[in-house]
Amino acid sequence: MRLHTLHLQAFGPFAGTHTIDFDSLSADGLFLLHGDTGAGKSTVFAAICYALYGKPPGDRDLLLRSHHAPEGLLTEVTLDVTLAGRRLRIRRVPAQMRPKRSGPGETQQKAETFLSERTTDTTGQERWEPFSKSHQEASAEITDLLGMSRDQFCQVVLLPQNEFTKFLHADAHGRRELLGKLFRTHRFAFVERWLHDHSRTIEKDRDTARADVLRLAERIHQAAGADLATEHPAPTAEDPHTLTEPAQTWAQDLLHASHEHHDHTLQAAATAKTHLLEKQTLEAAARDLHQQQDAYTDARRQLDLLQEQQPHQATLRQRRDQARRAQHAAPQLHAADTAASDHADAQRTERSARRHLLPQHADLDADQLETIERTTRNEAAVLAELIAEEDTVRRLTTQLEGIDAERQDFDTQQRTSQDWLDQEPGMRRDLEARREAARQAELEGLRHHDALDGLKTRIEAAELRDTHLAEVAKAEQRLAKTQEIATLAGQEHLDIRRRRTEGMAAELAATLTDGIPCPVCGSCTHPAPAAAQDGQPTRQNEQDAETAHERANAALADALARAADQGAVQEELHALDTEHTHHTEQHRTATAGLSARNADYDTLTVQLTELTTKLTTARGTHPTVAARAAELTRTADHLKQAAQASRTLATAAQTLHHRTEQALLTAKDQGFDTLALAQQALLDDETLRAIEEEITQWRENCAVHTAVLQDPALQQAAAQPPADTSAATASRAAADNQHATATAAADAARTRTQDLATLATDLATAVQRLQPLEQAYSTARHLADLVTGTSTSARVRMQLEAYVLAARLEEVVTAANTRLHIMSEGRYTLSHSDHQAPRGARSGLGLQITDSWTGRPRKTDTLSGGESFFASLSLALGLADVVTHESGGNPLDTLFIDEGFGTLDEDTLHKVLDVLDSLRAHDRTVGVISHIPELRRRIPHRLHVRKNPTGSTLAHLTEAAE
């Protein structure tokens, strides 16, 4: 990397535009960047880092925009640089607020990146070719060409103040942090974490597999029970070795024992089944004999019971015969019952209908009731025609109420208007008196102010409504003149006071007397008392003028108040005229309306009286005509119902008499002396059918039981001793229990054998899964311990990342000793140590220095300040060489060294500068950032940074220029 030019604009402390020409600045290979503290020396390198990577050095956010920059000047950085043989120009504009292009205010300026490359066209002309405007694309291209990250670049291009002194004196952990960032060894740390996590993952899988084996072993133990024995021990968590092949052997042995036990239970179950069949046969024979004996005994008992029912059966046959004879007279009996029922219903209906009649109608016959019903309906029809007249009465009543309300409204309006008209003359007299007083006030104002002579004419013109605004304007003019007179009086008062104040010394001098102290200075002698001037106003003159001023103001205020009332009076008179017209019109309208409503009210009252008299006569004692008509209609309906019920009762009585005679004749023909006997013998079809079925069922039951008693098999069984079914059942039950027990044992043995076979298979699968996991975990754990330095077989406790960094540190130490040998004149040599750290800490990044004067190594923190500087500088330069090589070998032609030279004596400073000259000899440019005066004499090309209140500036100085 070789820098050519750097263009800064409103960046950091630099308010304006500055360009650094590194080609001329580094002509001798060495230049000095100096200036006061805080002037912005480190900002130059920050600008270079920002141009290359889009971010300044470090983790903190650097304020890029200058506080001193003008609003219209954008903050930007442009770097012309050669990277890996390619000439590039990088221009970056950070995000910032800028003035709007049109209108006031600010707007957000987005961050921009412009990457261009210098190329040669076909004609041999060089020009800048745009390459990219993308932040990501430009940053990726620059990073690839540099071959290092931003942290690496800042560490090896800018050798920061005290950074490598800290590295020189740091412990292994501190060196690891710095070297890890520079050499990007996080990938080895990732390997360490991955191996550790991988071993933990396999450990979890192995533990899960072990738990599966133990769980299956527990299930096998539970399934086998306590009766199965084996000579092999069961697997346990305390001995992981028993969880593989020994576990399978134990399970197979239990399975073999279970098979043998199952065969034994099958033989026992077969024997129990044969015994059960024999007992079941004996029980069935005993039950058959018992059933035959019970059947014969039951038939004998049932037949005896049937013989006892013979008298009842004779009675049933007699009822059946009488019922059959009564059925021949059933139609006539039914007709007589129906006629009797109809007659009873007619009697009840007739009694119910007569209960609704009026007392005078209760004993009338049907013809009389019909006559009165027709008369009542005619009267109701007449009343129905009068119902509409009631609606007319209600309508007239409503109209009268509305007219009466309007009469009251007109009467109220009439009285209100008349009362106001009666009061109006007095109100008018009062207003005219106020208007006359206002006129007199205006005249009085004319006497006070000669300038108001024309006021009377304007007051008369003010009576017209449309001239009020002009009158107000003129009144304001009069007010201004009056105020002017009052102002003049006030000024006169103030002038008199001023003149009196100015002559107050003379007034006071007139009261002085020799020997009496002065009221101002206290002296008893008065060598030169002030003399009064001609026309000097006295205190009395001042008081008189003030009194006149106050009277003038009071008169002016009173005149203005009274004159101002004229406009208001005129307005009130105009309003009074308008209200007079309104009330007069209202009084006339109310009088006419009240007369019309009185006439309407009288007419409607006459109509209402006539209709009311007519309807009162029609409705009688009822509330309405409609109510009386409805009552008459209900009475007529009751008379009609009573007449109809009376005729129906007479017809039912005749029918009852006729049918009763016919039924009696038929009953005697069938052998019954009375209708009551025939009715008693008569049965319904269902009862008669039940008697027939009972008689038939008795006959059939007798035949069935007789046939059973004549069965030879049952007779033979009855002759034998009683069957003992209880003994046969008990014997069969015992055999059944024995068979059930043997079958259950066989089933349990079969189930256990099947469960053990399944579990043994599952256990074999779990063991097959566990065995490779045991081996994998052993390998993974061993590798994880090796890379983390915790393995017991490791020679040193060194992690993988530390091991790699230790190798890089050895390279850095080798490269650093080349410069350290020169700067220390061969006295000091750095060396790397990977000895075991104290108290069990990990090792690998130890650093010590050997002093050739003593021949013994010692700690780096025993070096003096100057020795520490050139030792850390040697490390920084060596680190730069190794990182450059690590990053791909792209040469870093420009280095910056920041401060630290103040700790060197003159001889050591010369040696350090010789080393820097040796870097220049290898075509490198070294920029030294320092304020040491000696360096200004040794380094001809200098970049001076000056700070001032308006922002820092840059100047390129040379010995020739100075």
Q: What is the pLDDT of residues 654-669, one digit of tens each?
A: 888 888 888 888 878 8
Distance CA 428, CA 828 (A): 128
Residue 255's pLDDT is what?
84
Output phi, psi for 159, to 5 deg.
Answer: -85, 100
**Residue 457 — pLDDT band, cuts 50, 70, 90?**
very low
**Residue 879 — pLDDT band, cuts 50, 70, 90?**
confident
Among candidate residues 482, 465, 533, the one with its CA nearest the CA of residue 504: 533
Highest mean pLDDT among 4-18, 530-544, 756-770: 4-18
Distance CA 372, CA 433 (A): 92
Q: pLDDT, tens digit, for every residue of 802-820?
A: 677 777 778 888 877 887 7
Residue 529's pLDDT is what?
61
Q: Is the pLDDT of residue 320 over 50?
A: yes
Mean pLDDT of the chain: 78
Residue 961's pLDDT is what?
46
Residue 895's pLDDT is what?
75
More confident residue, 873 or 347: 347
Q: pLDDT, tens digit, for every residue of 894-922?
A: 777 775 666 666 776 776 677 666 666 55
**Region 651-656: what's the mean pLDDT?**
86
**Region 918-927: what's the mean pLDDT?**
67
Among candidate residues 204, 158, 152, 216, the one with its CA nearest the CA of residue 178: 152
Instruction: Enumerate the β-bridge partners of residue 858.
Output: 849
Distance CA 812, CA 281 (A): 107
Residue 288's pLDDT is what?
85
CA 689 to chain centre: 84
Residue 285's pLDDT is what?
84
For residues 48 and 925, is the Cβ–Cβ distance under 8 A?
no
Instruction: Enumerate the β-bridge partners of residue 6.
Output: 20, 79
Q: Is the pLDDT of residue 150 over 50?
A: yes
Distance CA 150, CA 46 (A): 11
Q: Is the pLDDT of residue 762 over 60?
A: yes
Distance CA 297, CA 485 (A): 158
Q: pLDDT, tens digit, for every residue of 22-48?
A: 888 888 778 888 888 888 888 888 899
Residue 728's pLDDT is what?
84
Residue 526's pLDDT is what?
58
For residues 777 and 209, is the Cβ–Cβ distance under 8 A?
no
Q: pLDDT, tens digit, for every residue of 557-568?
A: 665 555 555 666
Q: pLDDT, tens digit, for every residue of 824-853?
A: 778 888 887 766 554 444 556 777 888 888
| Least confidently predicted of 199-203, 534-538, 954-958 | 534-538
The CB density around residue 388, as the number of other CB atoms within 10 Å, is 10
Q: Is the pLDDT of residue 129 over 50?
A: yes
Q: Is the pLDDT of residue 98 over 80?
A: yes
- Percent of the chain clearing pLDDT 90 (strictly above): 5
Q: Is the pLDDT of residue 19 over 90?
A: yes
Dihedral sign, Cα of residue 165, residue 170, residue 173, residue 175:
positive
Distance CA 704, CA 697 (A): 10
Q: Is the pLDDT of residue 182 over 50?
A: yes
Output phi, psi for 405, to 5 deg.
Answer: -65, -40
**Region 326-344: what's the mean pLDDT?**
82
Residue by residue, what is the 3-state secondary structure of 271-336?
HHHHHHHHHHHHHHHHHHHHHHHHHHHHHHHHHHHHHCCHHHHHHHHHHHHHHHHHHHHHHHHHHH
Residue 790's pLDDT is what?
63
Q: How far is CA 136 from CA 53, 112, 113, 115, 132, in A?
A: 10, 11, 9, 11, 10
**Residue 714 — pLDDT band, cuts 50, 70, 90?**
confident
**Residue 161 — pLDDT band, cuts 50, 70, 90?**
very low
**Residue 960 — pLDDT band, cuts 50, 70, 90?**
very low
Strands 925-929 and 86-93, bridge-based pairing: unpaired
Distance CA 276, CA 272 (A): 6
**Region 447-466: what's the mean pLDDT?**
49
Task: Indicate the angle between helix axes 41-53 and 135-146, nearest 10 degrees.
Answer: 110
**Region 146-165: what's the mean pLDDT?**
68
Output phi, psi for 131, to 5 deg.
Answer: -110, -45
Residue 884's pLDDT is what?
67
**Region 214-242: what's the mean pLDDT?**
83
Report the Cα–Cα distance between both ends of the chain, in Å, rounded.
31
Q: Is the pLDDT of residue 602 over 70?
A: yes
For residues 413 and 590, is the Cβ–Cβ distance under 8 A?
yes
For residues 115 and 131, is the Cβ–Cβ distance under 8 A?
yes
E-assigned strands of 147-196? 158-159
